[in-house]
Amino acid sequence: MNTEKKESIYKNIQDAIAKAGEELGFSKETINNITHPYKVIDISVMVPELGKEVDMYRVQFNNALGPYKGGIRFHPDVDLDEVKTLAITMMLKCSLVGIPLGGAKGGATINPRDYNDKEIEGVARAWARSMSDYIGVDQDIPAPDVNTNGQTMSYMLDEYEKTVGRSEPGVITGKPLELGGSKGRTEATSQGGVYSLLKILEFKPELAGERKVVIQGFGNVGSYAATILADEGFRIVGISDSKGAIYKDSGFDVHAIQEAKQEKRISLHELFNDNEDVQKISNEELLIQSCDILIPAALENQITEDNAADIQASLILELANNPTSTKADEILEKNNIILVPDFLANAGGVTVSYFEWVQNRQQYYWSAKEVDDRLHSIMVAATEKVYALSQKEDISLRTAGFKIAVERVAKAAELRGNK
Ligand code: NAD
């Protein structure tokens, strides 16, 4: 995505926060405080394993509610504007679901496909080493995002602990269980999104239609969303990865596809090479296929003014961050398509990251059921709150979400004297 588009997503979120803040009666100073990052780390770091420098970022957006929190993305398109956009979204997310954490995000500008495992480990260690002054269990707690996972977090934890010379498992979340990870973290974003979706469908059952679901992206978030929804009785008719999409009106066996993808590490198009039942289409085509529920779970800016009018779904669950442009939002609203916004729909990830951090601090670990029950109650409460406000004020779920999120974080900033 080009820089101009990223800047405009960031600016649109700043504007939406400012609008909500003004309507809620907060001062210009408070609004300024929550629309600009507290600290920006933008460095070029030598990675010995690559024999070259890599651009690395951490944007610590706001910690009025608690330590900074947010994932780390490895992707060739990562730049400061993207990280700022993701960091401001993290602030909203933590505020909306009511957890005591602030917003941050990080990244490294590399294409992981160009490197082997040892080289990726080098990038992860270099990131943790060079950010060690800025992160910490009471300071800033990173986690995985696109192209990073439990293994990446393990290298980062190890490098950080070597650098600071003490054990500090709560400095990073999304770790494997053996290193202090939480049960339920891997599928938390998807599970939380499903809890939110089911709640909305309780309020508006007609939106479920024939329970046909299209999911863009089949990574961590997309693949678990697919399997959890299939287990809930939904029909997953379309899925995709970065190489392309597949569609089959009778639905896919997504459990088998998830297993095959993990085992063979091949694209969906390759997996269904000679299958005549399956339509092979592009990612652009996937978004406008016939379905009841559309779930973007890949990258930002996928639903735009160019394709919004062609979307057939009656409900969109934004599991990716910032997948819908502001202009597209307006078109969807005009077409009565209900959209569950990213900072509500995908907040399950940071919620279970918060649980992981709590467990690390206590050195006492919860059962899968305890994690799931707590995730369920947080997601349901946040969804009910957003839905109730949207009904009361006749506004979209996104606008209602902005108001609730802004109120909590702005109040915290004010109490700290930032007014
Ligand atoms: P991932 O790297 O595991 O998976 C990304 C998926 O998207 C892969 O299947 C990839 O092939 C696909 N993809 C990449 N480029 C694409 C393109 N141009 N078109 C279609 N598909 C494409 O990442 P993830 O952790 O699943 O994250 C997906 C989204 O969810 C991101 O927006 C991320 O910020 C957001 N998110 C993730 C978490 C989490 O816990 N992992 C939490 C909140 C939000």
Model confidence over 77-128: pLDDT tens digits?
A: 999 999 999 999 999 999 999 999 999 999 999 999 999 999 999 999 999 9
Ligand 1 atom 19: the closest Cα is on which residue?
Answer: 242
140 and 230 share one domain: no
Ligand 1 contact, 190 CB (< 6 A): no
Which SS3 state, helix, strand or coil, does residue 54 take? Answer: strand
Range of the domain at 90: 37-167
One domain for residues 76 and 225: no
Q: At what angle do helices 80-97 and 397-415 cross, to 10 degrees?
A: 90
On whether residue 113 sits in a domain, the answer given is yes
266 CA to middle of ligand 1, Å? Answer: 16
* pLDDT, mean over the chain: 96
CA 352 – ligand 1 centroid, Å: 18
Residue 273 pLDDT level (bands cut at 50, 70, 90): confident
pLDDT at site 8: 87
Q: 146, 110 in Cβ contact below 8 A?
A: no
pLDDT tens digits, residue range 287-327?
Answer: 999 999 999 999 899 999 999 999 999 999 999 999 999 99
pLDDT at 418: 86
Q: Are residues 199 and 121 in the same domain?
A: no
Q: At residue 407, does pLDDT exceed 70?
A: yes
User: pTM here?
Assistant: 0.95
For the cut 80, the answer to whether the pLDDT of residue 274 exceeds it is no
Please indicate whether residue 5 or residue 254 has the higher confidence score (pLDDT): 254
Regarding whether 308 and 256 lie in a shared domain, the answer is yes
Chain position carrying tokens 């799931």: 372
Q: What is the DSSP string of 175-224?
A: --GGGTPPTT-TTHHHHHHHHHHHHHHHH-GGGGTT-EEEEE--SHHHHH
Among residues 113, 134, 167, the one where a domain terminates is 167
CATH code of the domain in which 72 resides: 3.40.50.10860
pLDDT at 4 over 60: no
| 61 plus 194 within the same structural domain | no
Residues 48 and 120 in one domain: yes
Are 141 and 213 contained in the same domain? Answer: no
Asked whether residue 193 falls in the same domain as residue 144, the answer is no
User: How many Å apart are CA 62 and CA 59, to the nearest integer?
Assistant: 9
Model confidence at 62: pLDDT above 70: yes
* Lookup result for tokens 């910490």: 136
Question: Distance (Å, rounded) from C-alpha 93 to C-alpha 101?
Answer: 10
Residue 219 CA to ligand 1 center (angstroms) comes to 6
Q: What is the pLDDT of residue 223?
A: 97
173 pocket-lining for ligand 1 (C-beta < 6 Å): no
Give the model confidence (pLDDT) of 144-199 as tens digits: 999 999 999 999 999 999 999 999 999 999 999 999 999 999 999 999 999 999 99
- What the block records as the tokens of 84 is 């700022």
* Same domain (yes/no): 196, 71: no
107 lines ligand 1 (CB under 6 A): no
Question: Average pLDDT, stretch 313-342?
Answer: 96
Residue 207 has pLDDT above 90, yes or no: yes
Report the pLDDT averaged over residues 6-21. Answer: 91
Q: With pLDDT > 70 as the criterion, what percentage of the chain qualifies?
A: 98
85 CB under 6 A from ligand 1? no
Q: Which residues are catalytic?
A: 105
Contacts of 37 (CB under 8 A, 6+ apart): 59, 60, 61, 62, 84, 87, 88
Same domain, 144 and 113: yes
Take atom 8 of ligand 1 and give the residue whose Cα is closest. 219
- Cα-to-centroid distance, 296 and ligand 1 (Å): 9
Tell whether the model's pLDDT for residue 6 goes beyond 70.
no
Q: Residue 214 sits in a domain of what CATH number?
A: 3.40.50.720
Q: Average pLDDT, stretch 221-225?
A: 97
Identify the CA nearest to 342 among candidates 146, 92, 145: 92
Distance, CA of 237 to CA of 195 (rounded, Å): 20
Minimum-distance ligand 1 atom for the alpha carbon of 147: 2
For ligand 1, atom 23, name the residue with the nearest CA.
Answer: 146
Cα 377 to Cα 352: distance, rounded to the nearest angstrom:
12
> Is the CB of residue 326 less than 8 Å from the CB of residue 11?
no
Last residue of a domain, one of 314, 345, 376: 345
Would residue 105 count as lying in a domain? yes
Q: What is the C-alpha to C-alpha distance for residues 326 and 14, in angstroms, rounded to an integer?
A: 12
d(CA 102, CA 170): 15
Cα–Cα dist 170/208, whole Å? 39
- 281 and 227 share one domain: yes
Location of structure tokens 């995505």 = 1
246-249 CB contacts, 8 Å cutoff, 24+ apart: 246/272, 246/278, 246/279, 246/280, 246/281, 247/214, 247/278, 247/279, 247/281, 247/286, 247/289, 248/277, 248/278, 248/279, 249/212, 249/290
- 116 in ligand 1 pocket by Cβ < 6 Å? no
250: helix, strand or coil: coil
Instruction: State residue 46's pLDDT score.
Output: 98
Q: Is pLDDT of 2 > 60?
A: no
- Same domain (yes/no): 138, 196: no
Domain count along the chain: 2
Contact residues for 280 (Cβ-Cβ < 8 A; gap 6+): 244, 245, 246, 269, 272
